[in-house]
């Protein structure tokens, strides 16, 4: 069993077919019993990404509704959610300044760092960030995190 932190750019691949979908789905297979962490804001970002795909003609409305329903069920019961606290936002603000990240990307990075810190303090193995966002991945590597990009697994 491994533990992963998914940002929305990677998690959406679980619900919409694109490069990296098969690899992403494999992480969720029951035999692996992997732990999946997400930031609380990921719910907004995934739903937004699915709706934008419908508007762009890359996903039909019926498929998007099914995908959003599956995602919402998983979000409630499957994922370990990192709450957005004042401390996390302060850390995200510093990370945005340090790495030139977009706002939500900085929050995602602060979330994975907070979850990773908690795991390491408890003696657990470190998290791997799963993200398809190159800027976020570069910042995460600079912060000492393990990273994997689903776009590298076609």
* Model pTM score: 0.95
Angle at 134 between CA 8 and CA 5, to 5 degrees: 40
35 near 3, Cβ under 8 Å?
Answer: yes
User: What is the domain partition of the chain in residue ranges?
Assistant: 3-41+79-152
Domain 3-41+79-152 has CATH 1.10.3470: no
Query: Whose CA is closest to 110, among 97, 124, 123?
Result: 97
Give, for all 154 residues of the chain, the pLDDT tens digit: 899 999 999 999 999 999 999 999 999 988 778 999 999 999 999 999 999 999 999 999 999 999 999 999 999 999 999 999 999 999 999 999 999 999 999 999 999 999 999 999 999 999 999 999 999 999 999 999 999 999 999 8
111-96-92-115 Cα dihedral, nearest 10 degrees: 20
């Amino acid at each position: 069993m491994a533990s992963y932190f998914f940002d929305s750019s990677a998690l959406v691949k679980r619900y919409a077919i694109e490069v990296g979908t098969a690899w992403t789905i494999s992480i969720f297979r029951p035999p692996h019993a992997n732990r999946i962490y997400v930031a609380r804001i990921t719910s907004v970002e995934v739903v937004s990404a699915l709706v934008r795909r419908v508007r762009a003609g890359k996903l039909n409305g019926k498929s998007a509704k099914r995908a959003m329903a599956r995602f919402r069920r998983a979000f409630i019961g499957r994922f370990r959610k990192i709450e957005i606290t004042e401390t996390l936002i302060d850390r995200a603000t510093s990370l945005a300044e340090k790495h030139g990240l977009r706002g939500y990307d900085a929050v995602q990075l602060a979330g994975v760092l907070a979850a990773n810190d908690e795991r390491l303090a408890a003696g657990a193995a470190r998290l791997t960030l799963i993200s398809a966002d190159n800027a976020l991945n570069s910042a995460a590597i600079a912060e000492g995190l393990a990273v994997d990009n689903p776009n590298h697994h076609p």
